[in-house]
């Protein structure tokens, strides 16, 4: 009996175009680790590589009817990973330039009394959002950002793994970015 594991990539793609979920699963199982390894080698960040591969496979499913293979499925997928890595790197460069220009602007700026008041208000908002984090996440975040401890030092102090510390800090930053993004926008909109 022939299973999906035994059929060629070309046949899997044909089945995928027809909406066959089992063919999609077989493609995912054949290539997810190879693509993840390829993305990780380029990015040096396992979480980013994992996100990139997940987004690629989500896109593969949603755009399955539009897939045109010029050569092989593996070449198609590797090219898609390469393009996403390049887009990600380009985005990081733009983000870095923006942060650098913002830092240069703020270092050359002399704050007046009004701006000092706004800065205190903003710090109070940030402190409120930090206080709203789950207790363990808040503790790890504060040790990292306020006490300036390394992940290793935090892990030793709290008796948890460095990976847990890294994940807690990353999750705290995600939560704060979402919560403070809108707050900062409204704050700037109202004050200027």
- Domain harbouring 143, CATH code: 1.10.10.10
Judge whether 57 and 29 are in contact, CB under 8 Å.
no
Whether 99 is in a domain gets the answer no
Residue 98: pLDDT band with limits 50, 70, 90: confident
CA dist 104 and 86 (Å) reads: 27
Whether residue 181 sits in one domain with residue 154: yes
| 191 — pLDDT class (breaks 50, 70, 90) | very low
pLDDT at 32: 94
30 in a structural domain: yes
- Answer yes or no: is 107 within a domain: no
What backbone torsions phi and psi does residue 157 show, to the nearest 5 degrees? -65, -40
Q: Return d(Cα 93, Cα 105) in angstroms, integer.
A: 18
Question: Given this model, what pLDDT does residue 156 score?
Answer: 92
Together in a domain, 63 and 13: yes
Local confidence band at 192 (pLDDT 50, 70, 90 cut-offs): very low
- Alpha-helical runs (H) found in 44-112: 46-62, 73-107
| Average confidence (pLDDT) over 23-42 | 92
> Which of 104, 108, 119, 91 minimizes the C-alpha distance to 184?
119
Total structural domains within the chain = 2
What is the reported pLDDT for 21?
A: 93
């Amino acid at each position: 009996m022939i299973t999906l594991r035994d059929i060629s990539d070309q046949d899997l793609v044909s089945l995928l175009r027809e909406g066959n979920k089992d063919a999609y699963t077989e493609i995912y199982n054949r290539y997810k680790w190879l693509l993840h390894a390829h993305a990780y080698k380029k990015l040096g960040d396992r979480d980013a590589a994992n996100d990139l591969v997940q987004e690629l496979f989500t896109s593969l499913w949603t755009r399955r009817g539009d897939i045109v293979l010029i050569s092989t499925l593996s070449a198609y997928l590797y090219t898609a990973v390469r393009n996403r890595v390049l887009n990600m790197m380009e985005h990081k460069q733009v983000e870095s330039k923006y942060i650098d220009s913002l830092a240069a602007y703020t270092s050359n700026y002399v704050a007046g009394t009004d701006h000092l008041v706004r800065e205190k208000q903003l710090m109070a908002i940030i402190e409120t959002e930090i206080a709203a984090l789950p207790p363990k996440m808040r503790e790890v975040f504060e040790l990292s950002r306020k006490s300036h401890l390394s992940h290793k030092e935090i892990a030793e102090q709290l008796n948890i793994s460095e990976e847990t510390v890294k994940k807690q800090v990353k999750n705290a930053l995600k939560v704060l970015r979402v919560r403070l993004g809108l707050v900062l926008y409204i704050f700037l909109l109202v004050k200027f």
